[in-house]
Amino acid sequence: MSWLSSLKSVFSPAQEVKEEEIQNVLQSYILPNSNHALKDRITQVNVEGRILQITINTYPEEADHLQKIHDDLADALEKCGIQELNMHVIQQKHAQGESCSNHDHGKQGHSCASNAQTATPSSAQKLPPVVDASGNTAPAAAKQDEDPNNQPIQKAAPQQRDVPKHPRIQNVILVSSGKGGVGKSTTTVNLALALQKLGLKVGVLDADIYGPSIPTMLGNAGRTPMIEAENFVPIDAYGMAVLSIGHLTGDNNTPVAWRGPKATGALMQLFNQTLWPDLDVLMIDMPPGTGDIQLTLAQRIPVTGAVIVTTPQNVALMDATKGIELFNKVQIPVMGVVENMSTHICSNCGHEEQIFGTGGGDKLSEQYHIPLLGRLPLNVQIRENADAGKPSVLVGDDAAESYMAIAQKIADQLPQVEKPKNRIF
């Protein structure tokens, strides 16, 4: 099967990637200082999301041109929607036109050949690893299958400092946790409403693609956004601009069964193709874990800081630690820790009990030298009000004051908000 047929069979692009234009680039590129076409040297091509991996055969006299080949292709493919190019080189032993003696063999055990097409590696040949958000390659276990003398040419992944600012959003705050079930979404909507009460213009983006709960908590489940000039118009929720994948599925029963590249593509579409108003703060409710969506955000969305939500339980703390480590690696400041479900007071007898343990937030704060922003109780009112679409800060229940105090500490860490000249509030 040709590489072109292979490309068509494995193609799983992000929405921004243009398959036909990628084919045209690969088929039309001529190698530097020669009349040889790149398409005659390609042995393998694979596309995952916006990452393209390509394996080609080269000869010793072409070694000085490999970086130029990579850079030329990367520039051309970027216009087709490819964000990252990994080029794996299989270098043949003899220059073109030389014949092979019977005892000559390539370093990998492949027969030496003057024709590049006869040197196609076996189907077991490993493709190079994809670089992670910190610019490093995959773990050592993944490198064992690579030829140390034939490293892939890789373009470093974008860093947080290089991501351009959104024209209408001054600050992006991630609300994150290492695991699910710690009250992250509830914390997001209440902190967003609290920041709004402090006088900031606030929006909310639900990045929990697989388990969107923001529409329910803000009382607009089942509503779908308007489309204007091929952009989403965010839904208004208590004066905040809000958008979630849950608003696009139409109900609470439809599962989002997408692989990583499609999920991250959907997230970027919600961020970039939405007519956000001028916002002082956009709160992003993150999915649990440290996977594709977290890395995509770090590489492609300008983030002011992250708020970590945890319970005092050791299992939750272990996962929260991983989240903090990830943000440190991708140069996103951690603004502090919120210890949720910190204590429970019996509504009948008034007895106070630490159901999930004590001191978890203090441990994280001390270990990473980050603020403990506050503690929130395990309170039935918080759950009931969130399920009813009227969060605590909105109705002023017993937890509202705690959310307001946490929001004030977050606001104090924000850069000075500069209001656009056309803002009238």
Tens of pLDDT, residue by residue over 356-379, are 667 777 888 888 899 999 998 888
7, 42: one domain: yes
pLDDT digits (tens, 9 = 90+) for 238-252: 999 999 988 877 666
Model confidence at 107, pLDDT cuts 50, 70, 90, reads very low
In 3D space, the residue among 135, 137, 134, 133 whose CA is nearest the CA of residue 151 turns out to be: 137
183, 150: one domain: no
In a domain, 376, yes or no: yes
Look up the domain containing 36 and give its range.
3-157
Q: Is 135 annotated as a binding residue?
A: no
In a domain, 420, yes or no: no
Domain boundary among 157, 187, 216: 157
236, 101: one domain: no
Q: Is 178 annotated as a binding residue?
A: yes
Q: Is 185 annotated as a binding residue?
A: yes
115, 192: one domain: no
54, 96: one domain: yes
- How many domains does the chain divide into? 2
Per-residue CA distances from 275 to 2, 208, 235 (Å): 43, 20, 10
pLDDT digits (tens, 9 = 90+) for 303-336: 999 999 988 876 777 778 888 988 888 889 999 9
242, 136: one domain: no
152, 209: one domain: no
Q: Is 419 annotated as a binding residue?
A: no
86, 186: one domain: no
171, 314: one domain: yes
For residue 103, what are the contacts with CB-CB under 8 A and spacing of at least 6? none
In a domain, 422, yes or no: no
Q: Is 182 annotated as a binding residue?
A: yes
pTM: 0.61
Domain boundary among 114, 138, 157: 157
Round to whole Å and give the CA distance between 174 and 176: 6
What CATH number is associated with residue 200? 3.40.50.300
19, 67: one domain: yes
Domain boundary among 106, 137, 157: 157
In a domain, 419, yes or no: no
Residue for token pair 């974008």: 158
The per-residue pLDDT for 167 is: 92
The pLDDT of residue 416 is above 90 = no
What does the DSSP 8-state code read for residue 128? P
106, 225: one domain: no
The per-residue pLDDT for 362 is: 81
Q: Is 181 annotated as a binding residue?
A: yes
Say which residue, 343 or 402, is predicted with more confidence. Answer: 402
Q: How open is the CA angle 339-342-345, to the nearest 5 degrees?
A: 155
